Chain A
């Protein structure tokens, strides 16, 4: 059954509709007109070693993700691994070896801003976060010898008994 709405009732709801609309617009546009205090924005920890960045600071603030993207493609796909600095010197196109060698703290340099802006790049799923300090103190580098020894044992165990595993060879693939 269709209920008939009296014609005049729409007129009575007009102020209510406009009030609701105004509230919605206010709430919707809040992020645009509310003033952001400067102290709200995280200050990038400029705990740097070097003097100069790979590109002008203003460009890097806005476009570092684009630069990293370009670097990634040129290193992996074109094998072009070096970036020419404004002063003519060469640096490796590397987030871990170049960027974080200078801006030594990943927590302060990357994460503070990214968590503020709610950006979640997945660089670190694969790339290894360098420990604070120079290249020589990168994480795990002291343990390489020990690591090699352990690996050697495992590999010997896996690769040596080929004669024993002869029976199972016929089943396997390559």
Chain B
């Protein structure tokens, strides 16, 4: 076949144009698919655990949920606030909801210590950054940590927009007064956070904080099941989530 310069250029231009069209089509299809997998996951999966925190009922100064959580999961108590490990804690309104979408919030709400914990986001940034797969999203929506695989790089801590993760700067064992033997402790150099009591869910129990709360502030349930208490509450009350502008889609909702 006679191949001159003109023919060669024509052919290669056609080839490049064709490749461009195909790759564009592929990437469009791929992103469409990815979107579907995060948003329409409800159809394929049957469980997404979530929580509603009714701050109207939460009593100032009551820390029963924090106490029971930290005992159940052997969370150490360090004297130095820099070493603090927390799974669930109370924080100022301004810290929990720093977004500017809430205007003219009542003084009462503003003064109230708000309960904070891992949001178990539907699109968790911590999972994306974890280099070892130690943090991962379970099929039931829980963002779980595999402490065995954590190398302590703390990428997840910088990725989490809610400060839900703590790092063990020191050996936690000596800082646990009495160890609950059913749950392991952690090692120095490992990150930890709330696990929505996945070990209790496996036995058919509610999370410890939900069970312990005397005022029924916390409601836990399956967000994908329309007949659950949590969906009823979400239907009947206006709720807010933390930093919605980030698109993490938290599974923890607040009634203020």
Residues on A facing B (Cβ under 8 Å): 72, 76-77, 79, 81, 96-97, 125-128, 130, 138-141, 143-144, 146-148, 150-152, 154-156, 159-160, 162-163, 166, 169, 172-174
Contact = CB atoms under 8 A, between A and B. Distances in A.
19 contacts: A76-B144, A77-B136, A79-B202, A125-B187, A128-B183, A128-B184, A143-B177, A147-B177, A148-B68, A150-B177, A151-B67, A151-B70, A152-B63, A155-B63, A155-B66, A163-B111, A173-B95, A173-B163, A174-B116
Given A155-B63, A156-B63, A96 B181 contact: yes
A126 B92 contact: no
Contacts of A126: 147, 184-187
The A interface is mostly helix, strand or loop, or mixed, namely: helix
Instruction: Determine which residue in A130, A140, A143 has the highest number of CB atoms from chain B within 10 A of its CB, and name it.
Output: A140
Interface in B12-57: none
B192 to A, nearest CB: 11
B146 A128 contact: no
Interface residues of B, number: 45
A76 B148 contact: yes
Interface of B: 60-61, 63-64, 66-68, 70-71, 74, 77, 89-92, 94-96, 111, 113, 116, 136, 138-140, 144, 146-148, 162-164, 177-187, 198, 202
B180 A159 contact: no
Contacts, number: 94
Given A128-B184, A140-B181, A156 B61 contact: yes
A159 to B, nearest CB: 5
B94 A169 contact: yes
B92 A162 contact: yes
Closest 10 CB pairs of A and B: A174-B163, A147-B178, A138-B181, A143-B178, A155-B63, A126-B184, A128-B181, A159-B90, A127-B184, A140-B178
A125 B150 CA distance: 14
A108 to B, nearest CB: 19
A77 B181 contact: no
Contacts of B187: 125-126
Contacts of A151: 67, 70-71, 77, 177
Contacts of A97: 182
B90 A76 contact: no
A128 B177 CA distance: 14
A9 B246 CA distance: 82
Contacts of B138: 79
A2 B67 CA distance: 80
A148 B180 CA distance: 11
Given A155-B66, A159-B90, A159-B113, 20 more contacts: A77-B136, A79-B139, A126-B184, A126-B187, A128-B179, A128-B180, A139-B179, A144-B180, A146-B178, A147-B177, A147-B178, A151-B67, A151-B77, A151-B177, A152-B64, A152-B67, A159-B63, A159-B89, A162-B90, A174-B95
